[in-house]
Chains A and B, each alone.
Chain A
């Protein structure tokens, strides 16, 4: 059983966390800190499997991690999972996450050549999406990545079709935000209607 999936960067800041066992927030943060501590000390050419640490699940757990550029992908599993299998899963998941983030990001008319940590930060919900299709309730749901991608695509399409008209303003707004507007008038006066524009914090 998978106890937790953690993605954090080289400084220990969490980028995506998913616990399959209940922990209070401060426990969660402590676990993240401890895991980062254990994993960041490791050299790049040593084994990807770690034992030790006592916070999650007592003694029966190990950490399986992979380090990609600035991100650490860590799975905390117990002894019922195969280390190599999980390692393989991490690899496949990473590839698919990168791919889908790239696709997603391209649809917003931005061009990114490589998916970087920033994309993960800003589109955390997308990554959650994908993760949900891979692991559910602590157990591996699907290992065939093509299946997963297909499911995610379908759900994406559903979302878009549901969006319809009501999502139009939201989409418009995000497009606007991505533009560089020199100035927005503070008060829009259209006859009797007085709309006060709240000050936008600099993005």
Chain B
């Protein structure tokens, strides 16, 4: 008898375990099916043995075979049997076996077996003091729970939901979902407990509860509306991302039923979106910038709130302009994006777009032609934008458009048309500062037009242009805005003078152009600070003698009326004045020479215009702008994306060809060249970008110290610590 047992166990030593099975299968690649059937026979033998370890081993192997596609449902009973073992090891091996039968006979048989056999086993396990036994039981249960099992075990599992160990609570909560599916009546009694778990101190249990309720709610949202406040609280207080995601998805299902919920959700959701947008800032690169902005533009179109739109707008511009436009490879695309953004209604960031346009047009020389063309179209369609009159509204863009057209008018295709567009009567409805720019730049355009027209022998055209200005400007001269008035009257006088010269057949174009000669470059923000102090100028010296004590106190009121005081102080003043004046004059002259924005006085700066409300120029059609407008002539930025893709493809294929050639030459045989993902440096920009650097005064010393606050306490901490180590 004993020998038999020993023999048995030695026999068993040579049983294959899982590794052996796998190895065996791998070694029998040709006759795999045959080998596996042999193995299955062996497994059946093993399952007949009494030894639980052997059976467990067999079950392990069965799992593997099942993965390969072999039907193992015949072993269902044995699996359950192994589960009944008191040893944890064996239980684990079968806890992931889904036990089911496909054939109806089997199904009935197996279900009965499971119900009758598993129930006591599982119950025993569930109340086991060992948490892992319980855990395994629960896991296994999730695979094979049947309606009967569910009914019987529901109360046990509910108790487990309040177990001391969070590990068990977690598993119990999750398995309730399966129990609910099989035995729906258990939901009612279990629900209060489940709700409690939402506020469980352990985060794992909490997220399990959220998980279960979210799953349930997705199918029947209306039952869970009452939980919305609780979830709202969770959402705002939780930091666990999984929980947050689930809750937001849940709200997505709930909101259609309860519109008020949607409104309440806007605030926290926008916070989340802000956080996401902030992330965008850091993750942009040359390659993905265009794609990202395209997606953002889609969002902008779909966005319903104007604040959200504005946020997106600011974000888009921030991303694009960071690090000196480092990530933009195609500035034409960027300008077209900006122009598309102008079509947004009700935005409060018109000035942002305007400043971007200005910045790009000034600093990227290569793009000026394109930019000017775009701006000209904008001006032509300016009447569409004049609807929005608020400060910083989208009409600010016209400011930029006018300035760009004026300053870079030599690139304009049809300066005459732009000039006319600038002087339309409707312009007078724009805000004052914009009108001022219009007027000033109309003058610049006038210069360009004159130059073009005087080149030809058509002097009449030139005179007509002058007449046009004379006709249109008086409307601006009568403007309520002082700046507009001043500029308009100056320019009007100038034109009248020019007209007289033109009538005498004098060439004036050259001189008029000279009025606007010179490039206006961007000035560095530190430029003012860096103006070197000229020699001999002592900034700390008193300009005037400080008032003496006695005078300031008693006789100040008298000092105004008595005559002795002025006589007394005046000679002192004049002495000081002479020297100081000279110095000041020097300093001022230098400043003016360095300051590009200082308008040098011109001899004859009088222009006169006359404005005539031309009826034909006023557009009659009022277009309803609720539908986004496709203005003819404005490019769609999508085409740039495609162009960019094509360009990169071409570059890549060219580079591949080059590499292939090189490699072939080197090795004499064809090799597949894998260029891999393009690195950032490989991407060549579409245009040669010459970003104009900012101007600094001459002899400016480069220094970074200006930034540091002299009162910064940390400055004092900047000592060499090596001495004290």
Taking Cβ atoms with an 8 Å cutoff, the residues of A that contact B are 1, 14, 16-19, 22, 24-26, 28-29, 45, 79-80, 82, 85, 121-125, 128-129, 132, 136-137, 139-144, 147, 151, 154-155, 158-159, 162-163, 166-167, 169-170, 172-174, 177, 193, 195, 197-198, 200-203
Bound Cα distance A151, B356 (Å): 57
Q: How many A-B residue pairs have CB under 8 A?
A: 130
A80 touches B98 (CB 8 A): no
B170 touches A22 (CB 8 A): no
Whether A151 contacts B167 in the complex (CB less than 8 A), given A121-B22, A139-B212, A162-B88, comes out as yes
**29 A-B pairs with C-beta separation under 8 A:** A14-B68, A18-B96, A45-B677, A79-B249, A80-B246, A82-B242, A85-B241, A85-B242, A121-B22, A124-B64, A128-B63, A132-B96, A137-B174, A139-B177, A140-B207, A143-B207, A147-B204, A155-B92, A158-B130, A159-B89, A159-B92, A163-B89, A167-B53, A174-B17, A174-B19, A197-B14, A198-B14, A201-B27, A203-B24
B215 touches A173 (CB 8 A): no
A82 touches B139 (CB 8 A): no
Query: Which of B5-13, B316-324, B556-564, B636-644 contacts the other chain?
Result: B5-13
B245 touches A26 (CB 8 A): no
Bound Cα distance A17, B96 (Å): 10
Bound Cα distance A139, B207 (Å): 10
A162 touches B96 (CB 8 A): no
Q: Which of B226-249 contact A (CB under 8 A)?
A: 241-242, 245-246, 249
Whether A80 contacts B89 in the complex (CB less than 8 A), given A139-B212, A141-B171, A203-B24, comes out as no
Residue in B closest to A193 when the chains form the complex, CB atoms: B3
Q: Is B535 part of the binding interface, using a Cβ–Cβ cutoff of 8 Å?
A: no
Whether A136 contacts B174 in the complex (CB less than 8 A), given A125-B63, A162-B88, A173-B14, comes out as yes
Residues of A within 8 A of B207 (CB): 140, 143
Residues of B within 8 A of A174 (CB): 17, 19
Bound Cα distance A181, B539 (Å): 98
Q: Which of B127-160 contact A (CB under 8 A)?
A: 130, 132, 138-139, 142
Q: Which of A18, A82, A170, A197 contacts B245 (CB 8 A)?
A: A82
B204 touches A162 (CB 8 A): no
Residues of A within 8 A of B9 (CB): 169
B139 touches A125 (CB 8 A): no
Q: Which of B195-231 contact A (CB under 8 A)?
A: 204, 207-208, 211-212, 214-215, 218
Task: Please count how many residues in chain B sit with their CB below 8 Å of the partner chain's CB atoms.
Answer: 64
Whether A16 contacts B63 in the complex (CB less than 8 A), given A82-B245, A136-B171, A170-B17, comes out as no
Besides A26-B69, A132-B96, 12 other CB < 8 A contacts?
A14-B68, A22-B98, A80-B246, A82-B242, A121-B26, A122-B19, A139-B211, A143-B242, A159-B89, A162-B88, A169-B9, A170-B17
Q: Is B466 part of the binding interface, using a Cβ–Cβ cutoff of 8 Å?
A: no
Whether A142 contacts B98 in the complex (CB less than 8 A), given A25-B70, A158-B132, comes out as no
A203 touches B27 (CB 8 A): yes
Q: Is B87 part of the binding interface, using a Cβ–Cβ cutoff of 8 Å?
A: yes
A85 touches B245 (CB 8 A): yes
B102 touches A24 (CB 8 A): yes
B69 touches A25 (CB 8 A): yes
Interface centre among A14, A177, A198 (most CB of B within 10 A): A177
Per-residue CB contact flags for chain B residues 13-44 toward chain A (1 = under 8 Å, else 0) read 11001111011101100000000000000000
Q: Is B464 part of the binding interface, using a Cβ–Cβ cutoff of 8 Å?
A: no
Whether A162 contacts B53 in the complex (CB less than 8 A), given A80-B246, A136-B142, A173-B13, comes out as no
Q: Is B175 part of the binding interface, using a Cβ–Cβ cutoff of 8 Å?
A: yes
Bound Cα distance A104, B245 (Å): 35
B96 touches A141 (CB 8 A): no
Q: Which of B11, B92, B215, B245 contacts A1 (CB 8 A)?
A: B215
A155 touches B132 (CB 8 A): yes
Bound Cα distance A167, B71 (Å): 29
Residues of B within 8 A of A85 (CB): 241-242, 245
Bound Cα distance A195, B11 (Å): 9
Bound Cα distance A172, B88 (Å): 21
Residues of A within 8 A of B171 (CB): 136, 141
Whether A28 contacts B69 in the complex (CB less than 8 A), given A19-B98, A139-B208, A141-B208, comes out as yes
A177 touches B20 (CB 8 A): yes
Q: Is B178 part of the binding interface, using a Cβ–Cβ cutoff of 8 Å?
A: yes
Bound Cα distance A22, B102 (Å): 10
Minimum CB–CB distance for B283 against chain A, Å: 13
A125 touches B95 (CB 8 A): no
A129 touches B7 (CB 8 A): no
B102 touches A80 (CB 8 A): no
Residues of B within 8 A of A139 (CB): 174, 177, 208, 211-212, 215
B204 touches A142 (CB 8 A): yes
B92 touches A129 (CB 8 A): yes
